[in-house]
A and B are shown apart, each in its own frame.
Chain A
Amino acid sequence: MKRALTLVLLVALAAVLLNAVADLPPHGSPDTPAYTHVGAYYLENGSEETGSENIVTSIILNYRGFDTNGEVTVIVTALMAVIAVLTGVQDTGTQPDAEVIHVAPSVVVRFIVRVLAPFILVFAVYVILNGHVTPGGGFQGGTMLGALAIALTLVLGERESSRLLPQRSLRVIQVIAPLTFVAVGLAGLFIWGDYLFFPRDEKLRGFAEAMLVLIEAGIGIGGAVVFARVFRLMGGRQ
């Protein structure tokens, strides 16, 4: 009965949604508002106005940089939430009958992680540093770095893997993404008078690029630390 009712509700909801979506401007057609208004402006003027060779970067770091500023804060908020909820919780405390079994990872896993690690690292750094010219950037590169830290945590012992995160400066490093964002934004404010302003002058292009790289690096490192920390906290470690 309940399932039948759910089905009827879902079908009704789907009918309403499909009916509305059918009347939307056709997807992919060049005359839709999504391609003729703000989007068209970005495509036409983006690379010239922002000096960025990558249109996506010109949007997420220049025109809509404040959104990205907010998004890195969302990620940090999630980490803060996890820390606040998991601090002081023993990993065995919640499931008294679950024995913690320490199994050494297999030789195959250890070997593969060891072989891949330097390549992952180099590629991650490449993606972060080239974010302002090619697809990719801090978010993607940071995910790779974070995945690397997680893979290494799996194969290394507790003592070695805890050294992957700088313990002393961790409280600053874990929020480095919004901090660099705000710092670069404020530099724009105090030098040129607008928050998140990047100089558009041809002569200062190198300077603007350095600012963008700094933000991407902040996002990348900050994002990686968030991933690694959430993983460790869920494993009951600090």
Chain B
Amino acid sequence: MTSWPPLLVLFVLTPLVGAVLTPAVSDASGRRSWEWALGTMLLTSAMAGALIMRVLDEGPFSYVVGGWVAPYGIELRFDEFSAFVAVVCLLGLLAVIFSRHYARDALAPGRIPYYYTLLLLNMTGMIGFIVTGDLFNLYVFMEILSLSAYALVAISGEKTAEMAAFKYLVMGAVSSLSILFGVGLLYALTGSLNMADVTGRLAGSAEAPLVLAFAALTLGFMVKSALFPLHIWLPDAHAIAPSPVSAVLSGLVVKVGILGMLRVYQIAYGSGAIDLSGLNLMLTWLGAISIVMGAFFAVFQDDIKMMLAYSTISNIGYIVMGLGLASPYSLIGASVHVFNHALIKATLFLGAGALIHQTGRRTLTGLAGVGRSMPLTTAAVSIGAISIVGIPPTAGFLCKWYIALGAMQAGEPLFAVALVFGALLIFVYYIRMVNAFYFRKPQEAGAPAVHEAPATMLVPVLILAALCLVMGVLGRLPLSFIEPAVTRLLAPLGGG
């Protein structure tokens, strides 16, 4: 079963069919649409598991849709980087579970089935984006992903949410256009859209359009990832969206830009047609600036979700810096941080969502002393905070360590300093948060007694917090899992 080739295409279609049928199966209370979405995500997750088993067994594999051969048909390809779908499915599943009570309280009843539809479509877009081996197909799935993300930000119906979604839409549309333009240029140069085929045919292309193509792709993907200075859409969109959506956007959707960049690197390095050292230097610098700027702005936030949103910009900085340094260690660290940051940020956003849902407050001042009434949730959020600072033995430590090692390896110790400086700033703002939860007295006397969130919210948060610890202890596993892919990526450069 696991090596049945069409499983790869069914993996993309399952959340798609589940998504479009959600409104048809739902009832007035929204309960049936939740059950349906849950079932869809369980099935999709099982398929993800089978595909990852296969890539562990035999390395990358592909499936060409319609019984054609690549490059004439559309090739789906599953490699080690595609294993990100494991986190996509896990977070999707937990976000759906979390939404059971959350959506009922936060959304108009008529919107609930469409909320699950859009969430599943978002998963479809992400999964398709990650497993496709075709440039235009990548663009198509990116559009499914982006459109559903804009709507999910706006779905609460509040004015601020609609404004944030509109800002996100404008930036997102321009970045999509930039990516499409890059894909078009690559097609004009090679006559092909299949990534592997394009890689093989790029050598000897005229330089100016080639540089423009990679620049356009990078620009587009970096807007999607919210790298400084293209991050301005992110804080509002991620902070104002419903919490499960924030977890999905901050944990997964921004990473799609990073995975897109990894595909760009696969093409550029593999073809040897273009020297990316200038681009890499720029990305390393912008990454370093992102780390510091994101952390700096986060320190001044009183709104807990706003703080988490700025922290995402900071962490994207780590990942992009790792990509830019282009040494084996930094790339391994960056790729694993793509996975781990997803888990950590989801812990934090879902935990914050549970706190906000129970207390009705979203500022650190308002949440003072909440550790006494909601000990489990605050403990989970604290574990997330420790992980994101990168204190061993949590999930955040090893990847940052590897990125720092990579900076040394690339002969750029300065960037390792930026990384540590960023981590210190991050430490400061998460200490503020933990301090507010545990060591400050509740502000108002006579505030309504709060208690832990219902199990559908609490359990996902606890699972994620446990994973932050587990991934810290088993940190070597993902590192050694991703290593062959990084080695393959850097092989054409020689000496890597």
Contacts and interface: CB of A to CB of B under 8 A. Distances in A.
Nearest to B17: A182
B190 interface: yes
Contact of A23 (B23, B134, B207): B207
A88 B121 CA distance: 22
B149 to A, nearest CB: 10
B469 to A, nearest CB: 36
Given A22-B208, A63-B68, A67-B74, A80 B151 contact: yes
Given A38-B191, A63-B73, A194 B65 contact: yes
A83 interface: yes
Given A23-B207, A25-B189, A179 B72 contact: no
B65 A65 contact: yes
Contacts of B137: 66-67, 70
Contacts of A33: 188-192, 201
- Majority secondary structure, B binding face: helix
A42 B66 CA distance: 15
B173 interface: no
Nearest to B24: A171
Contacts of A189: 6, 9
Interface in B52-81: 65-68, 71-74
Given A67-B136, A74-B144, A74-B147, A37 B201 contact: yes
Contacts of A42: 72
Contacts of B201: 33, 37
Nearest to B113: A171
B118 A195 contact: no
B190 A17 contact: no
Interface in A53-99: 62-67, 70-71, 73-74, 76-78, 80-81, 83-85, 87-89
Interface stretch (B82-90, B154-162, B351-359, B460-468): B154-162
Contacts of A73: 16, 20, 121, 124, 144
A24 B206 contact: yes
A164 interface: no
Contacts of B24: 171-172, 175
B208 A19 contact: yes
Given A33-B191, A66-B74, A74-B143, A81 B66 contact: no
Contact of A196 (B65, B111, B147, B185): B65
Given A32-B191, A66-B137, A67-B74, A83 B65 contact: no
A195 B335 CA distance: 32
Contacts of B154: 84-85
Contact of A20 (B17, B20, B212): B212
Given A64-B73, A194-B6, A182 B13 contact: yes
A60 to B, nearest CB: 11
Contacts of A83: 114
Interface string A169-199: 0011001001100100110110011111110
Contact of B141 (A16, A70, A87): A70
A21 B189 CA distance: 11
B102 to A, nearest CB: 16
A80 B6 CA distance: 28
Contacts of A195: 6, 9-10, 13, 65-66
B455 interface: no
B474 interface: no
Contacts of A198: 66
B174 interface: no
A20 B376 CA distance: 57
Nearest to A89: B157
Interface string B105-138: 0001011001101100100110010000010110
Contacts of A19: 208
Interface string B393-429: 0000000000000000000000000000000000000
Nearest to A40: B191
B188 A70 contact: no
Contacts of B66: 62-63, 65-66, 188, 194-198
A80 B117 CA distance: 7
B246 to A, nearest CB: 17
Contact of B110 (A81, A88, A178): A88
Given A20-B211, A38-B193, A74-B144, A179 B114 contact: no
Given A73-B144, A81-B147, A179-B20, A23 B187 contact: no
A119 B138 CA distance: 39
A64 B476 CA distance: 40
A36 B20 CA distance: 39
Contact of B151 (A41, A63, A67, A85): A85
B140 interface: yes
Contact of B189 (A24, A74, A84): A24
- Which of A24, A77, A172 is packed against the most chain B CB atoms within 10 Å? A77
Interface in A110-141: none
Output the residue of A84, A171, A172 with the most chain B CB within 10 A: A84
Nearest to A185: B13
Nearest to B9: A195
Contact of A21 (B68, B134, B209): B209
Interface string B96-108: 0000000000001
A11 interface: no
Contact of B212 (A17, A36, A70, A175): A17
A179 B19 CA distance: 11
A38 B206 contact: no
Nearest to B188: A24
B148 interface: yes
A23 B144 contact: no
Interface in B181-222: 185, 187-193, 201, 206-209, 211-212
Contact of A77 (B72, B73, B147, B212): B147
B192 A37 contact: yes
Given A20-B209, A88-B157, A36 B151 contact: no
A84 B109 CA distance: 11
B150 interface: yes
Contact of A67 (B16, B21, B140, B147): B140
7 contacts: A21-B209, A66-B9, A67-B134, A67-B140, A83-B114, A175-B23, A194-B6
- Please name the 4 residue pairs, one residue from A and one from B, whose CB atoms are nearest each other, closest first: A37-B191, A33-B191, A81-B151, A70-B140
